[in-house]
Amino acid sequence: MGAVYEAEHTGLGAAVAIKLLNEGFTTDQKAVSRFRREGRAAAAIRHENIVAVYDTGTSEQGVPFLVMELLDGESLSSFLRRERAVSPKVAAAIAVQILAGLGAAHSKKVVHRDLKPGNVLLAKCRDGSRAVKILDFGISKFYSDMESTDVTATGAVVGTPRFMAPEQARGQVDLDARVDLYAVGVLLYRMVTGRMPVAGRTQQEIIATILAGNPPTPREITSEVPPELDRVIMRALAVDRDERYQTAAEFAEDLRSAMPEVATGEPIYVSAVADSIQGSDRSPRSSGNSSVPSLVAVDRRESTRYDSPMALHQARRRQRRALTLYVSLLVVVIVGVSLVVWRVARGPMSGIPQAYSAIAGARFSGKPIRFGITRYLPRDRLLEEHDPIIRYLARRLHRRVELHIMDDYVDLAAKLEDQELDIAGLAAYAYVRATELGRHVKLVATHVTLGGSSYEGFILSRAGSGIRTLSGLRGKVFCYVNPGSSSGYLYPRALFRRSGMDPDTSFKATRFAADHLAALRALYSGACDGAAVFAGMLFYEAQEHGLPPEQFTILARTDRIPHDAYCVGEHLPAKTAKRLTEALLELAPKSETATRVLGPESRIQGFVAASDKDYDSVRKIAHYLDENRRDKRGRAATEPRKNTSR
C-alpha cells in the first residue's frame, strides 16, 4: 500500500525514513484513515520497542506521508525464513521485547491487531546487539473507537488469518489487547517449532482450524521445547480469551519464570544459516565473526554454536555424513592396499579404474564460486530446482559452489562487476539493461526448459470476475512482479500500450509482488483484479500451491521471451570461466549427462550457448516503451503552450 524511502532532514542532517501512501489509494478514504491511524498510534506510544514516528503530513501532490526513525536490520519473517526455527532461549528473548512494546501500546489504549513476523523488525544497535521493533499499526484499534464507526467495519475480519485470535477470526467488534497476546503465542509457537499451530489451504479452512483450537503442543513437534515454555505457549493460544494471559505484563512475567535465562540481560550470538548451497551439500555456515548482531537478553554463557533446531539438525547430519565418508575412505584404502599387495605377489599391477582413484582423491580447493539468481519463485522452490546444478558444478570443477538467491530483482550485473558474484543468471530484461549501461559481464550460456528455448508471459484475471479483455482492467488494481522482470513487467506493459492503454494511468492502482507466485496469489485472493506472470507459473507451479489453473482467465499472451542470460564477471580467471562454461554446456538438453543430473521432469532441461543477438527482441520492446514514454512527455510539454494560445 506504500513505499518507504531513506531520507535526510535538511535542517538537522539526520537520517530518517519516509513512508508514503501509494498514490492509487489517496482517494480511498479508508486507506488514508488507516495510514494516518498508523502514525497516530505509533506517535502515541513512544517506546523503545515500537518504531518511532517523528512527523506526518501531505506532500505537494496530495500524498500522505509519515516520517519515522531509520532502522537497520531484518524482519523476523526474513530471519525465520533463513533459520526455520530458533532455540527456545532466543524465541523467548524476542517475545519478551515484543510484549514490552505491546504493553506500552495497550497502556495507551492501542491494540495492534496484525502482529506477525513481517511486522516485527530485529534492528541492529550500535553495540552490535539487536532490538525488537514493532511496525505497522495500520489496522490498529484505539479503545476509544470501540463504540464508533471506524475504518474497520463492524463484522469485518481484519488481520492476517494465521495469526488471528478466534474472536478476531469470527469478526467480533469487542476486540481487546488479548488478540495481540494470542498473536505472540502464535509467534512463539512458530519460532520454536518451525511450524504454524493452524493449517489450511484456504482462509476459510484456516479460520475453522483457529476456532476449533487444540493444535499439537510444541513439545509434540520437538522435544527441545522445555515443558514450562510449552505450557506458556499453549495458555497464550487458548480459544477462550478469558483463559489466556490478560495483560502483556502477566504474559512476560510467566515467560520469564518459564525461561529464567531471558532475565539475565546478556546477549546471545546466533549462528546464521546462509541462503546458499556450499559445495555439494546444503548446509549452514557461520560468518566467523564474533560481532554477529545478537538477539537480546539471554545468558551468553549457556549459548552454543547451534542456537536453532534446524542448524543443530543440519550440523548433526553433516557429522554423520563425514563419519560415513571417513569409513568409506578407510575401506577404500584397505581394499586398495590389499589389491596392491595381492598384485605384487601375483605379478605386474594393471587395470585399476582411473575414475575410482579420481573419486577417492577428490576434494574441494580454492575460493568458492558464487552463483547468483533472482528470486522469481519462492526460495524453497528455487533451492530445489538449482540444487542438482550446484552439486554437479561442485563435483565437475572440484570447487565449492554457493547459490545466492537475490530478493527484489537486485542488479545482478552490478554484483558481477563489483566481484560479489562470479556467475549470475540475468533475466532477459536485466541483461539488456546491463549491456546498455556498459556493465562488464560476459554472456556464456542460456538455459532451455520444458517449454523450449524461450517462454511467454500471461496477463490474467480471475475466472468469474467478468474481466475478459485487457480493456476490462481499466480502473482496476493490477499486480506486476517487479520493475526488473521481463514477463512480470516489461512485456505486459508493452501489451497494454499496444492495446491503447497507458500502463501508467489506466489502473486505479498498481502493486508489486515479491515473485510470480505471490502475484498469482494476490490475484487469486482478490487483492488484485489482474496480474502478470510467466506462463510456467500457471501451467507447472500453480496447482502445487493450491491455485487451480481453471480459476484464472488468460487475457493476453506476450511475445516469446528469451530465457535467462548466464554471465560471468570479468574478474573471473579465464581458465576458471572456461571450465565453468564448459561444465554448463555439458548439460546439453536431452543429453545423457543432463538427464542424469537434472532428471527428466526438471523444469530446466539443460544449457546451450548464447549470443548477444538472442536478446535483440527484448531491446526492441524496451525501446518501444521508452519511445512512447518520451512521446508522452513531449506532448505534456507542448500542451500548456496550446492552452495559453487559445
* Spatial CB neighbours of 85, under 8 Å, sequence gap ≥ 6: 191, 192, 193, 194, 222, 308, 309, 310
Residues 460 and 528: beta-carbon distance below 8 Å? no
Q: Which residues share a beta bridge with 643?
A: none
Tracing cell 475478459 back to the chain, one arrives at 468
Number of CB atoms found within 10 A of residue 76's CB: 22
Instruction: Assign residue 288 a region (left: φ > 0; alpha: ψ between -120 and 50; beta: otherwise).
Output: left
Cα distance between residue 41 and residue 113, in whole Å: 12
Rounded to 5 degrees, what angle do the CA atoms 344, 330, 335 make?
30
How many Å apart are CA 351 and CA 336, to the nearest integer? Answer: 13
> Phi and psi at residue 74, in whole multiples of 5°?
-145, 155
Q: Which triple of cell numbers denotes residue 70?
A: 531509520
118 phi, psi to nearest 5 deg: -70, -15
User: How many other C-beta atoms lie within 10 A of the C-beta of residue 560?
Assistant: 14
Alpha carbon of residue 125 to chain centroid: 24
Contact 404, 274 (CB under 8 A): no
Q: Please pick, among 28, 55, 72, 114, the residue that the annotation labels catalytic.
A: 114
Q: What distance in Å separates the CA atoms of residue 327 and residue 330, rounded to the nearest whole number?
A: 5
Cross-strand pairs, 372: 404, 424
CA distance 249 to 255: 10
**Active-site residue flag, 114:** yes
SS3 assignment, position 220: helix
Q: Which residue, among 175, 107, 105, 103, has the nearest Cα to 146 in the 3D structure? A: 175
- The C-alpha cell of 576 is what? 576458471
Nearest in space to 595 (alpha carbons), one of 395, 392, 455? 392
Active site residues: 114
